[in-house]
């Protein structure tokens, strides 16, 4: 297929592009580079642009005979969404509608949407199944749920075929070391810990040590970024007009903050000092997926189920790219 990947220069999007190309699909990328990296995608398949530019979207869809869209272009920082919700409503919701309307005008009916476990809020029952009540507690989670609702309506009214894939904690880097995680403001646990091993910060803060978990720290379900990409590919190949799929993408078991720190210590050989800090408001004790539906509908199983294996790929990337994609630029000069 010819696939347009929105936000394809970002973390998960760039890994999905590589997996699409390896599977024989032709992937075109549109990204405004506000948070993505041009060097993360093939130069001859990259277009710098914004989803608010509907004429550009329609031109790309028509010129490249696009068969389907993978939609990753979204802001994704929970804390930022609380202090600046406007950009989440505009970028994540309004621009997604712009994309859907461009697709409708060009008669492109298939879309795989990057959703999030944030649509559930703070459920009390674990593991989380897809029918769990949706009660997002921040604008980021609400924005993802709003687009899922739009996709339901576009499938019913216009015959769209879609998959909404609800990620848990994306982690790791491409197994071949070519791609990795590089955010201007890092908020993900594993890269923050690895910055300590690289000497870029003195210690890692552990927010809360009195949760009702085995070691008192929060437990999360970490899913490798390449496993996410493979799930997108499997969903793309199973889309049907007028039908939608919604499913969790996770490993199905969690690791505590302390377990992740220990895994990073083992992989890096660094002591990685920690500091105890108060709980952060809104952090649930445990968030773990039930990925049964993805296994059933997509015949998909994560290849990276162990936190040590996930950390190993991340450590390779960060060790070889201590300044992120800027390291790649410097090496080329």
Q: Which residues participate in catalysis according to the annotation? A: 140
Q: How far is CA 132 from CA 118, 119, 146, in A?
A: 12, 10, 16
B/e letters for 270-308, b = 16+ CB within 10 Å, e = fewer, are bebebeeeeeeeeebbbbbbbbebbeeebebebebeebe
Tokens (6 digits) for 141: 């989670």
Q: Is 116 helix (H, G, I), strand (E, B) or coil?
A: strand
Nearest 5°: the CA angle 250, 67, 303 is 25
Instruction: Note whether 17 and 2 are within 8 A (CB).
Output: no
| Phi–psi pair at 245, nearest 5 degrees | -125, 135
Q: Do the Cβ atoms of 6 and 12 come closer than 8 Å? A: no
Q: Is 129 exposed, middle or buried (0-12, 13-18, 19+ CB in 10 A)?
A: middle
CB neighbour list of residue 122: distance below 8 Å, 6 or more residues apart? 135, 137, 282, 284
Which are the contacts of 332, defined by CB distance < 8 A and separation ≥ 6?
none
Answer whether 31's CB lies under 8 Å from 9's CB.
yes
Orientation angle between helical segments 257-268 and 307-320, nearest 10 degrees: 50
């Amino acid at each position: 297929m010819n696939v347009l990947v929105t936000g394809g220069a970002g973390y998960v999007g760039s890994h999905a592009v590589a997996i699409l190309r390896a599977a024989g699909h032709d992937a075109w990328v549109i990204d405004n580079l506000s948070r993505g990296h041009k060097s993360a995608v093939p130069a001859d398949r990259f277009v710098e642009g914004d989803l608010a530019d509907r004429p550009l979207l329609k031109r790309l869809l028509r010129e490249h005979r696009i068969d389907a869209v993978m939609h990753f272009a979204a802001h994704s920082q929970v804390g930022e969404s609380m202090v600046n919700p406007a950009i989440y409503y505009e970028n994540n919701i309004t621009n997604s509608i712009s994309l859907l309307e461009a697709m409708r005008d060009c008669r492109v009916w298939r879309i795989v949407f990057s959703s999030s476990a944030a649509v559930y809020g703070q459920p009390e029952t674990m593991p989380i199944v897809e029918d769990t009540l949706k009660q997002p507690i921040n604008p980021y989670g609400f924005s993802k749920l709003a687009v899922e609702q739009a996709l339901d309506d576009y499938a019913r009214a216009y015959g769209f075929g879609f998959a909404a894939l609800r990620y848990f904690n994306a982690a790791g880097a491409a197994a071949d070391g070519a791609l990795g995680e590089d955010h201007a403001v890092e908020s993900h646990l594993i890269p923050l810990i690895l910055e300590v091993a690289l000497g870029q910060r003195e210690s890692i803060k552990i927010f809360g040590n009195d949760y009702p978990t085995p070691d008192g720290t929060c437990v999360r379900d970490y899913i490798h970024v390449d496993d996410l990409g493979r799930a997108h590919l499997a969903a793309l190949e199973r889309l049907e007009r007028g039908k939608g799929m919604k499913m969790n993408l996770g490993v199905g078991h969690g690791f505590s903050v302390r377990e992740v720190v220990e895994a990073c210590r083992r992989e890096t050989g660094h002591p990685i000092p920690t500091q105890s800090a108060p709980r952060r408001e809104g952090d649930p004790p445990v968030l773990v997926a039930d990925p049964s539906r993805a296994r059933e509908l997509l015949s998909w199983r994560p290849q990276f189920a162990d936190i040590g294996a996930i950390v190993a790929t991340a450590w390779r990337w960060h060790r070889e790219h201590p300044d992120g994609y800027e390291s790649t630029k410097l090496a080329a000069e």
